[in-house]
Amino acid sequence: MSDNGPFSIFGGASPTAPPPSPGAPGGHLDPADWDAFRASLHQVVDEMVDRFQDEGTGPVWQAIPESVHQEFTEPLPRAPRPLDSVLDRVRRDVLPYTLGNTHPRFFGWVHGSGTPVGALAELLAACMNANTGGRHHAPILVEDQVVNWIRRLFDFPEEATGLVVSGTSMATVVGLAVARHRATRGLDRKEGLRDGPPLVGYTTRDGHQSIRDAFSLLGLGASALRAVPMLDDGSMDPVALERRITEDVHAGRKPFAVIATAGSVTCGAIDDLVRIREICRDHGLWMHVDAAFGAAARLSPQLAPRLDGIETADSIAFDFHKWFHVPYDAGFVLVRDGRLHTATFGGREDYLTSLGQGPGSGDIWPCDLGPELSRGFRAFKVWFTLQTLGADAIGEAVERNVRQARSLARMVDREPELERLGPADLNIVSFRYRAEGRGNAELNELNREILLEIQERGIALPSPIRRDEAFGIRVCLCNHRTHDSDLRLLVKAVLELGRSLVPVG
């Protein structure tokens, strides 16, 4: 109870405020009938709770009929439509045909599965409609707390800075922009990259595509990103890295950054972060860690040692919307040198001048740490999820997925008709069906058919993988709803489909 009387979670109208307008005829965009809107909203909430509760009872994915495709070719609506009519359209044409990554048997790519509390946070954040580019309001405090939690999680110094972004792709751009600023001694902001030896950086062949894209966006050029050979476990070869650096220096180029990986998208490999840090220190290079999903291992006491060395990185990029199970989209970049981070993006125009107090106060705004001034309240669903579920529960879910990956690898290894493709040391297992007397091209086509059948029948949704010349079925366990029985069902389906597709005799 406040001094102004009982308030809901969003507060209440000021006692001196004029009464609300009756609805749309007054020219604004709020509902004309608040009671009807409330009833529709309550119904949607009930339906979404049912959807979460029943997740796993239907197909993982189903093809979109041509009739539904046609529905999405209609022109821009100029007149309003009844809310319930639009909701019916969502129920009919959208909800049945999502990718399925909330389903227990979704194993594709590296997709997060979300949580009901995260969905609630999205609703609350949308109702606040906060712009978190800057200024002084509680949403900025929420993001500040998230930054501090993550800074401490990775044992970064007090002066480190962080930013919630759309995902690791943007986090990589921000982290490497700071590295570029350091390498050019700040000239990149004024002069670009016109003078001096060309900057080059290093990652493995399995480095994520977003790293190459970041090099292109930052004006470095994708060819400036060197592919370092890998060891048998899929991690970067430190000896080869040092050799490449020396070769580039002798050729008149300027090495400036190494992008190490903590959880590769192909097999979950983790680079030797301790050794790479030593190499970066010896050569004066920036160490950026792409930990898109692997960062969540830091929440597990059992798995955290596998990330040893990440606490020495200059910048880290990762996704909350993967193994932290926050709804899409929410990524994060953490930068060790906060002053350098601010120097890379800071410097506001007069109309954004900070005041000493009031809503326009604050020394460093999020817009001083990245390219966006208008920013949604992504930090809220991160904060809300961590507050509600607790970091330990999320860490336990990560551990469970790693155990499940090991169990799946054992299942594959026990079956003579299955062949594992590469290591399975974290949460990714790739394998294929093999048939005696079939060449590699035939096996590739056979496994492509098996994969498509599994997907299109809605049995499960693994994704494709190509390792050297072999096409396989890739299972990424990044889903807190998955049970061991789901993995057994997948293996059984692959075996049955493989046998049915290979003619006898």
pLDDT digits (tens, 9 = 90+) for 92-131: 999 999 999 999 999 999 999 999 999 999 999 999 999 9
What pLDDT score does 180 carry? 98
Q: Is residue 219's pLDDT more than 80?
A: yes
Instruction: Give the model's confidence band at 194: pLDDT under 50 very low, under 70 low, under 90 confident, else very high.
Output: confident
Q: How many CB atoms lie within 10 A of CB 41?
A: 14
pLDDT one-digit tens code per residue, 316-366: 999 999 999 999 999 999 999 999 999 999 998 888 888 888 999 998 999
**Residue among 130, 143, 163 nearest 345 (CA):** 163
Bond into 329 cis (ω within 30): yes
What pLDDT score does 26 carry? 57
pTM, rounded to two decimals: 0.94
Instruction: Give the model's confidence band at 19: pLDDT under 50 very low, under 70 low, under 90 confident, else very high.
Output: low
What pLDDT score does 349 carry? 87
For 90, list phi and psi in degrees, rounded to 5.
Answer: -60, -45
20 or 374: which leads in pLDDT = 374
Average pLDDT over every residue of 222-241: 97
Dist CA 161 CA 366 (whole Å)? 10
Longest dimension (CA), the chain: 87
What pLDDT score does 3 carry? 47
Q: What's the one-letter identity of residue 185? A: R
Q: Is residue 55's pLDDT more than 50?
A: yes
What residue ranges define each of the domains in the chain, with the CATH number in brackets? 35-61+99-114+391-505 (3.90.1150.170), 132-389 (3.40.640.10)
Contact 286, 179 (CB under 8 A): yes
For 98, list phi and psi in degrees, rounded to 5.
Answer: -75, 170
What pLDDT score does 196 carry? 86
What pLDDT score does 176 carry? 98
**Angle in degrees, CA 171, 174, 180, rounded to 5:** 140
The distance from CA 456 to its chain's CA centroid, rounded to whole angstroms, is 25
Q: Is residue 299's pLDDT more than 50?
A: yes
